[in-house]
Amino acid sequence: MSIAGSDSSGGAGVQADLRTFAALGVYGTAVITSVTAQDSEGVRRREDVSVGLVREQIEAVVEDIGVDFAKTGMLASSAIVECVAEALRRYDVPFVLDPVLEAGAGGTLLDESALPTLVEKLLPLAAVTTPNVAEASVISGIEITDEKSMRAAALRIYELGVEAVVITGGHFNRKGADLLYDGEFLELRGEIIQTAERIHGAGCTFSAALAAELAKGRSLREAVAAAKRFVTTAISGGWQRVGRREMLVVDQLFTLRKAESKLDAIKSVKTAVKMLRRSGSFVKLIPEVGVNVGMAAVGAESAADVAAVCGRIRRCGNEMAAGCVELGASEHVARVILAAMEFNAEIRAAMNVRLSSEILEACRQLGLKLASFSRAEEPTGVKTLDWGVREAARRWLASQPQTTTNFPDAVYDWGAEGKEPMLRLFGKNAVEVAERALKLSEMLSHDRKT
């Protein structure tokens, strides 16, 4: 059960909590404490729900549906804090206290006069509280400036009666670390996500994820670790440039979207292979080392997130033989795609084909945007394809207007000793790449006939 305010921008509050619950496989209920008119620039207005209605919402949920675990977010006023504390004590509901003081975009979400009530009446009832550095500084009265003062603040909050404290401080100490104190200190380090946009909804998502994991029966330390992994993934998959001030809203469903996109990648590669098989001319584009076509999932991080052909596509006379399509089938094509995605996340597919002067001229006639690299310029200690694709892309982008955010359609190199010349086609999906390869092979066949 989420006991929190409504965020009209959709990024935080009850909206974020319910998405988190759903993503983690628990049924979520909601008790609205306040309605905000909120956007990327801050809270324009808020209207608190009456204390009686807050109480009746809690009663309706607990008495009919039941609650394994709850979390509190925006509680707005001293009267609402007292009401929530009384109800949670009466029903003996375990809960996570997220002491929301201000909106991430700006604007007060808890009256100054309500803070003592929260500390005295609600905090001692909580199973765990999850303040960020600013909130922990206010509650503890200790200004957090380093890891020593962070530990002192956690200990002071613990002494106020709560069973455990998690200070979320990844943005503070540059190590992506949160600090847990439950009688003993535990530092939880994680990935640091660099973004120019302000992140909206991370605190709500973390506390909701923690409540969900505790509801599923995890121990506190297991639940904190799982919640941290969840919110890190949600931030990395966040929706960019939301609103006039371009706030980054975390995407609680990113893990599910990524899993779905893996299946889409496999399907797209399989369709591409079928297209190539049906062609009578493509076989002539297969180089001696064979062809591979691959497509990455949304937010791909490694070869395990890239679907490709096992054992490549080989030429057998005038026919072609292809293995099955699987995730992680080719480290080779995965590296090419992942390098391209660093420049444009929408470019998620690639295929290598044979290169010759005739093929390069056909590419130009088709209007393909071409970039190249020379293996002779390759620095020592780097992987050729990673470096080559990045180098070619950088040079190509440098030659384009500053507003260009696209990516070349193909990157080629003329090889080296023991290395075959190669053309690599890129696109948004494997079918698009296959279509380009087929147009290229058909043009070559037509030119030879004429």
In order of 376, 378, 412, the CA distances from 373 in angstroms are 9, 9, 7
Residue 171 above 60 pLDDT?
Answer: no
Does the domain at 2-252 match CATH 1.10.3720.10? Answer given as: no
In order of 15, 309, 434, 439, the CA distances from 274 in angstroms are 43, 12, 10, 15
pLDDT confidence of residue 424: 97
Q: Where are the alpha helices (DSSP H) in 328-382?
A: 331-341, 357-365
How far is the C-alpha of 422 from the C-alpha of 411, rounded, in Å? 8
Render pLDDT for 248-302 as a digit per residue (tens, 0 to 9): 788 899 988 899 999 999 999 999 999 999 998 899 999 999 999 999 999 899 9
Render pLDDT for 288-345 as a digit per residue (tens, 0 to 9): 999 999 999 998 999 999 999 999 999 988 889 999 999 999 999 999 999 999 999 9
Within 10 A of 148 (CB to CB), how many other CB atoms are there?
A: 9
pLDDT confidence of residue 129: 98
CATH 3.40.1190.20 domain position(s) in the chain: 2-252
pLDDT confidence of residue 106: 53
3-state secondary structure of 334: helix
How far is the C-alpha of 372 from the C-alpha of 410, rounded, in Å? 8
pLDDT confidence of residue 317: 82
For residue 338, which phi and psi values (nearest 5 degrees)? -60, -35
Mean pLDDT along residues 220-233: 95
Mean pLDDT along residues 174-193: 82
How far is the C-alpha of 169 from the C-alpha of 181, rounded, in Å? 13
Give the predicted TM-score (pTM) of the model: 0.80
Mean pLDDT along residues 124-148: 94
pLDDT confidence of residue 402: 67
Residue 404 above 90 pLDDT?
Answer: no
The topology under which CATH files domain 257-449 is L-fuculose-1-phosphate Aldolase (3.40.225)
Average pLDDT, the chain: 91
Lowest mean pLDDT among 69-73, 167-171, 204-208, 360-364: 167-171
String of DSSP letters for 384-430: HHHHHHHHHHHHHHHTS-TT-----SEEEE--BTTB--EEEEEESSH
Contact 237, 231 (CB under 8 A): no
CATH 3.40.225.10 domain position(s) in the chain: 257-449
Could you tell me the pLDDT band of residue 189, with boundaries at 50, 70 and 90? confident
